[in-house]
A = this chain, B = another copy of it.
Amino acid sequence: MKNLIIASTSTIHGSGYLEYILEELAVFFKNSNSILFIPYARPGGISHDDYTKIVAEAFAKINKTVKGIHEFENPTEAIEHAQAIFVGGGNTFVLTYHLYKNNLIETLQTAVKNGTPYLGTSAGSNICGLTIKTTNDMPIVYPPSFNALAFVPFNINPHYLDPDTNSTHMGETRETRIKEFHNFNTPPVIGLREGSWLQVEDNSIILKGTLNARIFEYNKAPYEVAPETQLNHLK
């Protein structure tokens, strides 16, 4: 019954919030009039209210109403009764910290298992993997665990960025970082470029958008896969 869109980013360059994927979302959320928004990742430290307002404005264009989880007295019940769920981007550590703090990990897992449509962007996609160990974010708070929601049997690296061959900067490239991940962990990692997403329906996982994704498997050279590729063999 799983039904997810796991998107690299909410926003692509030169386009409004969720604009590039809005038509897709109209189809994805066709059976939901209202969407429960989880604003915990707070990009740039924005308030839960202000973040929810931005999301509500975007979804109004496809005639969906949005309510923030912070507006409910009981966040567990809010998820249990949600027609659909959207977890937005921001800081993955802050997001994970608040999901654990509010005891929502299992609640989210049960809701998604039961078929509640789930949209994630950026940090909200990171947490769909096995762990948050391939986030790009700064660890500004200490979560009780790096284990995530495990909606897919691998890890996600959103905002995947190819090495800049002109750079004189000596910090690690994204590819180097993911290779380091594989010195200590075995699950595959999907590098999702901005504008790409994974469409998950039960056991089917398909790359969507116009760009290739980069796949990092343990003890294998990284490789590219094209849009419409089935990724359900990865684990």
A142-B145 contact given A94-B184, A171-B159, CB 8 Å threshold: yes
Query: Which residues from B are CB-within-8-Å of A145?
Result: 142
Task: State whether B183 touches A169 (Cβ < 8 A).
Answer: no
Question: In the assembly, what is the distance between CA of A180 and CA of B134, in Å?
Answer: 19
Q: Is A67 in the interface zone, CB < 8 Å from B?
A: no
The listed residue (B170, B176, B179) touching A159 by CB distance below 8 A is B170
Question: In the assembly, what is the distance between CA of A168 and CA of B164, in Å?
Answer: 13
Query: Which residues from B are CB-within-8-Å of A134?
Result: 138, 140
Question: In the assembly, what is the distance between CA of A133 and CA of B184, in Å?
Answer: 21
The listed residue (B94, B170, B181, B194) touching A140 by CB distance below 8 A is B181
- What is the distance, in angstroms, from A143's C-beta to the closest C-beta of chain B? 9
Question: In the assembly, what is the distance between CA of A168 and CA of B93, in Å?
Answer: 24
Chain B interface: which of A8-16, A78-86, A101-109, A201-209?
A8-16
How many copies, total? 2
Question: In the assembly, what is the distance between CA of A178 and CA of B91, in Å?
Answer: 11
Query: Which residues from B are CB-within-8-Å of A91?
Result: 180
Question: In the assembly, what is the distance between CA of A141 and CA of B169, in Å?
Answer: 25
- What is the distance, in angstroms, from A145's C-beta to the closest C-beta of chain B? 7
| Per-residue B-contact encoding for A129-141, CB less than 8 Å = 1, 0 else | 0001111111111
Query: Which residues from B are CB-within-8-Å of A43?
Result: 172, 180
Q: Is A177 in the interface zone, CB < 8 Å from B?
A: yes
Query: Which residues from B are CB-within-8-Å of A42?
Result: 180, 183
Among residues 144 to 181 in chain A, which have CB atoms less than 8 Å away from a CB atom of chain B? 145-146, 159, 161, 168-172, 176-181
Query: Which residues from B are CB-within-8-Å of A9?
Result: 170
Task: State whether A45 touches B170 (Cβ < 8 A).
Answer: no
The listed residue (B140, B169, B178, B184) touching A180 by CB distance below 8 A is B140
- Closest B residue to A158 by beta carbon equals B171
Q: Is A185 in the interface zone, CB < 8 Å from B?
A: yes
- Closest B residue to A132 by beta carbon equals B139
Other A-B contacts than A43-B180, A45-B179, 13 sampled, CB-CB below 8 A, are A11-B170, A42-B183, A90-B180, A91-B180, A94-B180, A134-B138, A135-B138, A136-B171, A138-B177, A140-B180, A142-B146, A169-B194, A170-B194
